[in-house]
């Protein structure tokens, strides 16, 4: 840690091989939406080491099973997606909210802005939520999403993916990412996938087909572990001062 | 505390954009209400998110996180102990609308302890949007807290007065306004955390 203006500065080193740059010309929409000034260092204090403790009240009865949110079952290949959420210190992240959203099996989102001519599925919304268990594990039932075209470049198609949103235990751990499927043929032309500089880091967005969890006569399974950044504890120079007004 | 750098032992999962369809997955019906309407002291934090051409960003999501009016957090890592204020979530979440605007109903936070004295009352803000590969983080400060703002370690670390001013909200009817500019001459100060 270094000290600036009497403040302890967190020693966390952002991994620039893992996280895409905000300015990524291959993804055209970044052009007007990336800050151009250098980011200002924000030492981690109380606001940054805490975050909302979200509980069961965030969940509806079928939020964990995207195939049971309507009268009938959605079209497509039923899949189980499960895994563990940990932080980069290796600790499981228990009881944290995991949110997902995705296209239907035909590659179309239930969103007014998505109007490419693939069918909407009346039995699929494409939105799910769960809390991780005590060991940081999560599990969803859904259908495998389809690929879809977009207009970023000529003949641009997004590889099949599920959007994931995670809170972790600290404001600094907040993560929105995408889970991809193994053996997808579309990675070579996808700027989202390619925006991650390091090939090994890209592979961390890839789910693994999981035959052992696959349920006979019912659903294929994929497993995907998510690693949030670490937490910087004890950012206080003198905790006594802070503790004075306890009670 | 001893000087050290922490390198992650387990490599992290990369960030990816929320994309254009975040509105189906992320907003909650009660997301903008960190407190219920009618709560004494409730105020609106409003603003518009602009891109580098000055156009409103209509497919963004703003999240806020803050202390309660006593400067406390409902979280086990608050060294004073978690303490919840009934009816107050501390967290707000609002998608931007067709005019690029967000609005979050909350309570004004109290001063929050820092390493060398109190930090000025502040709200941490995350902005997610199509066209952003990961969120950007900024802070909102309150205009009437002149003395506390002058002593605040984070505001004080920003030497450029015009840049510092991008973090201080304006008072308006029913609450405060903080516009967020992702890029350009009056670009908001964003933090590396």
Q: Which of A45, A198, A110 is nearest to B77 (CA)?
A: A45
Are A204 and B154 in contact (CB < 8 Å)? no
Which of A:58-87 have CB within 8 Å of B? 58, 86-87
Are A101 and B25 in contact (CB < 8 Å)? yes
Q: What is the mean pLDDT of residues A47-70?
A: 96
- For residue A237, the chain B residues in CB contact (below 8 A) are 1, 115-116
Residue A105 pLDDT greater than 50, yes or no:
yes
Decide: helix, strand or coil at residue A34.
coil
Beta pairing class for B101-106 and A137-143 = unpaired
Contact of A34 with chain B, judged by CB distance below 8 Å, is answered with: yes
d(CA B182, CA B188): 6
Classify the phi-psi angles of A115: left when phi > 0, otherwise alpha if psi is within -120 to 50, otherwise beta. Answer: alpha
d(CA B189, CA B166): 7
Contact of B18 with chain A, judged by CB distance below 8 Å, is answered with: yes
The token pair at B135 is 């969120």
Residue A156 CA to chain centroid, in angstroms?
22
> To the nearest whole angstrom, how far is the Cα of A27 from the nearest Cα of chain B?
7
> To the nearest whole angstrom, how far is the Cα of B141 from the nearest Cα of chain A?
13
d(CA B57, CA A76): 34
B35-44, B81-90, B173-182: least confident range: B81-90
Are B53 and A32 in contact (CB < 8 Å)? yes
Q: What is the mean pLDDT of residues B104-111?
A: 98
Whether A98 and A132 have beta carbons less than 8 Å apart is answered as: yes
Give me the phi and psi of B25, to 5 degrees please: -105, -30
Decide: helix, strand or coil at residue A148.
strand
Are A163 and B89 in contact (CB < 8 Å)? no
> To the nearest whole angstrom, how far is the Cα of A59 from the nearest Cα of chain B?
11
> To the nearest whole angstrom, how far is the Cα of A12 from the nearest Cα of chain B?
5
Element (H, E) at B106: strand B101-106
Q: What is the mean pLDDT of residues A85-99?
A: 95
Contact of A39 with chain B, judged by CB distance below 8 Å, is answered with: yes
Q: What is the mean pLDDT of residues B18-38?
A: 97
Whether B15 and A19 have beta carbons less than 8 Å apart is answered as: yes
pLDDT of residue B193: 86
pLDDT of residue B81: 87
pLDDT of residue A12: 55
Nearest neighbour of A22 by CB, restricted to B20, B77, B133: B133
Give pLDDT tens digits for A130-182.
999 999 999 999 999 999 999 999 999 999 999 999 999 999 999 999 999 99
Nearest neighbour of B7 by CB, restricted to A13, A43, A51: A13
Q: Number of helices (H) and strands (E) in chain A: give both, helices first.
A: 4, 14
Are B1 and A88 in contact (CB < 8 Å)? no
- What is the overall mean pLDDT for chain A? 90
Q: Can you give the length of chain B in residues?
A: 193
> To the nearest whole angstrom, how far is the Cα of A189 from the nearest Cα of chain B?
16
pLDDT of residue A243: 41
- For residue A127, the chain B residues in CB contact (below 8 A) are 24-25
Q: Number of CB pairs < 8 Å for A and B?
A: 279
Contact of B5 with chain A, judged by CB distance below 8 Å, is answered with: yes
pLDDT of residue A5: 36
Q: pLDDT grade, residue A1 (50/70/90)? A: very low
Whether A81 and A213 have beta carbons less than 8 Å apart is answered as: no
- For residue B188, the chain A residues in CB contact (below 8 A) are 35
Decide: helix, strand or coil at residue A109.
coil
Q: Number of helices (H) and strands (E) in chain B: give both, helices first.
A: 4, 12
Give pLDDT tens digits for A117-139.
999 999 999 999 999 999 999 99
| Percent of chain A's residues with pLDDT above 70 | 87
Residue A238 pLDDT greater than 50, yes or no:
no
Are A125 and B24 in contact (CB < 8 Å)? yes
Q: pLDDT grade, residue A245 (50/70/90)? A: very low
Which of A:84-143 have CB within 8 Å of B? 86-90, 99-101, 103, 109-111, 113-114, 125-127
Question: Annotated catalytic sites of A, by residue?
Answer: 109, 148, 158, 161, 163
Are B193 and A48 in contact (CB < 8 Å)? yes
Q: What is the mean pLDDT of residues B58-66?
A: 98
Query: Which residues make beta-bridge pairs with A93?
Result: none
């Amino acid at each position: 840690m270094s000290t600036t203006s009497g403040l302890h500065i967190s020693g966390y080193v952002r991994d620039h091989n893992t996280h895409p740059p905000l300015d990524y010309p291959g993804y055209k929409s970044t052009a007007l939406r990336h800050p151009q000034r250098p980011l200002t260092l924000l030492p981690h204090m109380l606001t940054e080491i805490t975050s909302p403790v979200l509980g069961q009240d965030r969940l509806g009865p079928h939020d964990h099973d995207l195939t049971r949110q309507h009268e009938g079952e959605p079209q497509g290949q039923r899949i189980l997606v499960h895994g563990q959420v940990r932080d980069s210190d290796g600790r499981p992240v228990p009881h944290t909210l995991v949110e997902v959203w995705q296209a239907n099996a035909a590659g179309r989102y239930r969103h007014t802005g998505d109007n490419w001519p693939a069918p909407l599925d009346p039995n699929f919304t494409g939105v799910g939520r769960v809390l991780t268990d005590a060991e940081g594990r999560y599990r969803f039932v859904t259908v495998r999403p389809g690929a879809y075209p977009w207009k970023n470049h000529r003949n641009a198609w997004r590889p099949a993916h599920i959007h994931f949103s995670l809170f972790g235990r600290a404001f600094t751990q907040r993560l929105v990412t995408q889970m991809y499927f193994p053996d997808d043929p579309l990675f070579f032309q996808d700027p989202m996938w390619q925006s991650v500089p390091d090939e090994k880091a890209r592979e961390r967005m890839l789910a693994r087909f999981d035959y052992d969890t696959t349920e006979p006569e019912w659903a294929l399974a994929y497993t995907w572990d998510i690693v949030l950044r670490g937490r910087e504890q004890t950012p206080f120079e003198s905790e006594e001062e802070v503790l004075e007004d306890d009670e | 505390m001893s000087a050290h750098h922490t390198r992650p032992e387990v490599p992290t999962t990369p960030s990816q954009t929320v994309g254009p369809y975040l509105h189906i997955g992320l907003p909650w019906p009660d997301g903008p209400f960190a407190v219920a309407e009618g709560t004494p002291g409730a105020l609106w934090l409003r603003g518009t998110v602009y891109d580098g051409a000055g156009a409103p960003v209509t497919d963004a999501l703003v999240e806020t996180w803050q202390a309660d009016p006593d400067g406390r957090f409902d979280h086990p890592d608050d060294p004073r102990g978690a303490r919840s204020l009934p009816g107050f979530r501390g967290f707000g979440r609002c998608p931007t609308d067709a005019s690029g605007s967000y609005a979050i109903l909350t309570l004004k936070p109290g001063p929050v302890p820092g390493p060398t004295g109190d930090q000025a009352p502040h709200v941490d803000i995350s902005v997610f949007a199509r066209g952003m590969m990961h969120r950007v983080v900024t802070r909102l400060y309150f205009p009437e807290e002149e003395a506390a703002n002058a002593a605040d370690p984070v505001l004080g670390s920003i030497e450029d007065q015009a840049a510092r001013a991008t973090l201080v909200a304006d008072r308006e009817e029913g609450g405060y306004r903080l516009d967020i500019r992702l890029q350009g001459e009056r670009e908001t100060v964003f933090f590396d955390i």
